[in-house]
């Protein structure tokens, strides 16, 4: 709910002066408008206590932050939030094991915002001087964290800045030069560029967050992360929160170097994977995979789909073949320019695209409500990536369906996934209708439907004017 100042109200009435009563006199402000001007109180955010669940009301959080939490639609804490906030709000470092979709972003943002509000800066501040720093491995994840922060900060005076590669350096610099930097989010490479140019300063960082440390390792970013961490105060003079999907020996060594007497928190993968996602494993052959995918996408209950593959070339091939079949499809991979990636993601979020084909790296930071299905075209080589993938659906209290193709080339990857989840995944043969031959859209237009085929007519190809939506 937006609070209108007296000046804003007067301006609004002036701009809408055409709408007046028949007697020509201005009407007084309505009762509703007067209620909008009342100060927001916690009584307007009612969440009933539930046994075994923590509310954000159960913590001592600033009122303006609680209002932002309400705007974000949060009521009860997720397991990672309930487990970490008692430590972080009391100033402790943490090392957290949690996957995408567990609510860890809100967990560290709520702690950061609380700290910044409760400990305002006395004296002079410099532009580009960050009070908190959040490191993310991918552009998409960094942008999403920045967007989540903006919602929570809506009723505060704090500012968030997001710095990622592949986007205009000058525009990002202009933002830093206009407003103080309370929360700085970014990818390691771009942050180093700004630091080396003395456009940002990290020596006053109070809270440091290293998100998805395992992915940082996989992508070779640790040398850059180490340089950035060295620009911040000593570990005993800052609070450090490190999150990872797995606790590998390498991750644990990094945590020992960068944190000070941390609390260790582990949220099991099975809790994420099984609660809201129906998991299906379809036994198929490599040659039948595209036919299977095509016919799944034509099914009536399939609305918004993310298709994951292990390699960029597979993603590109799938994108071209699905596009040829007339599907509204986009592709996200490391070889797609960032501006196109953002346009493609926005089109997928808005529903202009039905299908998104992505690699693990590109898809890691995608938060899209309403994804009905996730299809693993190729099984991931790392079992943790399976959890990240299927976590794209079944979000925000909704249920989702995950369909994984297992063929002679990658069926052996099922066992480590089942071990991680501590459960046996159901394996079935696809229905006959799902392995009907794919009808080329051009042949269909030329010759009509193939006799005996039960497959729906492929959708019409996209308008050439919609090319800008495609990556």
Residue 446 in this model has a pLDDT that exceeds 60: no
Instruction: Determine whether 213 is exposed, middle or buried from the number of CB atoms within 10 Å of its CB (0-12, 13-18, 19+).
Output: buried
Say how far residue 424 (Cα) sits from the centre of its chain: 28
From the list 342, 331, 323, 270, the residue with the least C-alpha distance to 306 is 331
The structural architecture, per CATH, of the domain 55-267 is 3-Layer(aba) Sandwich (3.40)
Return the DSSP state at 328. Answer: -
Domain boundaries, the chain: 55-267, 271-469
Whether the Cβ atoms of residue 361 and residue 387 lie closer than 8 Å to each other? no
3-state SS class at 433: helix
Residue 122 in this model has a pLDDT that exceeds 90: no
Q: What percent of the chain has pLDDT over 90?
A: 56
- The mean of the pLDDT values for the chain is 83
Whether the Cβ atoms of residue 314 and residue 378 lie closer than 8 Å to each other? yes
Position 124 confidence tier, pLDDT thresholds 50, 70, 90: confident
Residue 18 in this model has a pLDDT that exceeds 90: no
- Give the number of other CB atoms < 10 A from CB of residue 118: 11
Q: Which residue has the higher pLDDT, 113 or 419?
A: 113
Rounded-to-10 torsion of CA 162, 194, 120, 72? 10
From the list 251, 260, 261, the residue with the least C-alpha distance to 232 is 260
Write down the pLDDT at residue 440. Answer: 62
Order of strands across the sheet that contains 94-97: 160-163, 183-186, 132-135, 207-210, 239-244, 94-97, 263-266
From the list 69, 73, 148, 61, the residue with the least C-alpha distance to 105 is 148
Query: Which residues is 207 bridged to in the sheet?
Result: 132, 239
Write down the pLDDT at residue 23. Answer: 45
Strands 305-308, 355-358: parallel, antiparallel or unpaired by DSSP? Answer: parallel
- Most confident listed range (178-187, 214-223, 262-271): 178-187
From the list 72, 107, 64, 100, the residue with the least C-alpha distance to 86 is 107
User: Which of 142-151, 209-218, 246-255, 393-402 bottoms out in mean pLDDT, i.e. has the lowest?
Assistant: 393-402
| Alpha helical stretches, state H, 325-425 | 338-350, 360-363, 383-390, 414-421
Instruction: Determine whether 101 is exposed, middle or buried from the number of CB atoms within 10 Å of its CB (0-12, 13-18, 19+).
Output: buried
CA 234/CA 260 separation, integer angstroms: 10
Write the Ramachandran bin of 415: left for phi over 0, alpha for psi from -120 to 50, otherwise beta.
Answer: alpha
Query: Which residues is 464 bridged to in the sheet?
Result: none
Whether the Cβ atoms of residue 342 and residue 147 lie closer than 8 Å to each other? no
Write down the pLDDT at residue 234. Answer: 97
CATH fold match for the domains 55-267 and 271-469: yes
Residue 363 in this model has a pLDDT that exceeds 60: yes
Token pair of 421, please? 């989840």
Residue 455 in this model has a pLDDT that exceeds 90: no
The structural architecture, per CATH, of the domain 271-469 is 3-Layer(aba) Sandwich (3.40)
Could you read off the pLDDT of 278-311 as tens digits, one per residue?
Answer: 999 999 999 999 999 999 999 888 889 999 999 9
From the list 139, 166, 140, the residue with the least C-alpha distance to 337 is 166
CA 127/CA 176 separation, integer angstroms: 7
3-state SS class at 208: strand
CA 82/CA 337 separation, integer angstroms: 38
Residue 153 in this model has a pLDDT that exceeds 60: yes
Q: What is the pTM of this model?
A: 0.67
Write down the pLDDT at residue 30. Answer: 46
Position 462 confidence tier, pLDDT thresholds 50, 70, 90: very low
Token pair of 183, please? 């929360």
Q: What percent of the chain has pLDDT over 70?
A: 81
CA-to-CA dists, residue 91 to 119, 135, 206, 234, 241, angstroms: 12, 19, 10, 15, 10
Return the DSSP state at 439. Answer: P
């Amino acid at each position: 709910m937006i609070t209108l100042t007296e000046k804003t109200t007067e301006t609004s009435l002036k701009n809408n002066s055409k709408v007046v009563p028949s007697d020509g006199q201005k009407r007084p402000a309505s009762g509703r408008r007067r209620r909008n001007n009342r100060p927001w109180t916690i009584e307007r955010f009612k969440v009933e206590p539930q046994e075994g669940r923590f509310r954000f009301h159960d913590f001592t959080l600033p009122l303006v932050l609680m209002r932002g939490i309400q705007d974000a639609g949060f009521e009860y804490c997720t397991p990672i939030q309930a487990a970490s906030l008692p430590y972080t709000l009391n100033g402790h470092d943490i090392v957290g094991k949690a996957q995408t979709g567990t609510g860890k972003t809100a967990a560290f943002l709520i702690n950061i915002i609380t700290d910044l509000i409760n400990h305002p800066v006395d004296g002079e501040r410099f532009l580009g001087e960050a009070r908190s720093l959040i490191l993310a491995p991918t552009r998409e994840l960094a942008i999403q964290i920045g967007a989540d922060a903006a919602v929570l900060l809506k009723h505060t005076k704090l500012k968030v800045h997001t710095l990622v590669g592949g986007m205009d350096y000058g525009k990002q610099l202009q933002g830093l030069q206009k407003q103080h930097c309370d929360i700085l989010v970014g990818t390691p490479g771009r942050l180093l560029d700004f630091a080396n140019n003395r456009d940002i300063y990290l020596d006053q960082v109070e809270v440091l967050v290293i998100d998805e440390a395992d992915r940082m390792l996989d992508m070779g970013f640790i040398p850059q992360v180490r340089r950035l961490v060295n620009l911040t105060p000593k570990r005993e003079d800052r609070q450090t929160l490190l999150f990872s999907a797995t606790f590998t020996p390498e991750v644990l060594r990094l945590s020992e170097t960068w944190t000070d007497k941390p609390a260790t928190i582990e949220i099991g993968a099975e809790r994420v994977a099984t609660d809201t996602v129906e998991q299906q494993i379809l036994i198929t052959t490599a040659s039948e995979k595209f036919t299977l995918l095509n016919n799944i996408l034509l099914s009536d209950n399939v609305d918004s789909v993310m298709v994951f593959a292990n390699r960029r070339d597979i993603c590109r091939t799938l994108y071209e073949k699905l596009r040829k079949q007339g599907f509204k499809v986009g592709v996200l991979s490391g070889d797609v320019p960032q501006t196109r990636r953002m346009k493609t993601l926005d089109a997928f979020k808005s529903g202009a695209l039905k299908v998104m084909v992505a690699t693990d790296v590109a898809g890691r930071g995608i938060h899209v409500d309403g994804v009905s299905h996730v299809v693993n075209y190729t099984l991931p080589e790392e079992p943790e990536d399976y959890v990240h993938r299927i976590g794209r659906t079944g979000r925000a209290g909704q249920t989702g369906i995950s369909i994984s193709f297992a063929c002679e080339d990658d069926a052996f990857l099922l066992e480590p996934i089942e071990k991680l989840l501590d459960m046996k995944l159901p394996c079935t043969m696809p229905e006959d209708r799902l392995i009907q031959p794919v009808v080329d859209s051009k042949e269909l237009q030329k010759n009509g439907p193939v006799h005996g085929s039960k497959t729906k007519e492929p959708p019409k190809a996209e308008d050439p004017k919609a090319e800008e939506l495609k990556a």
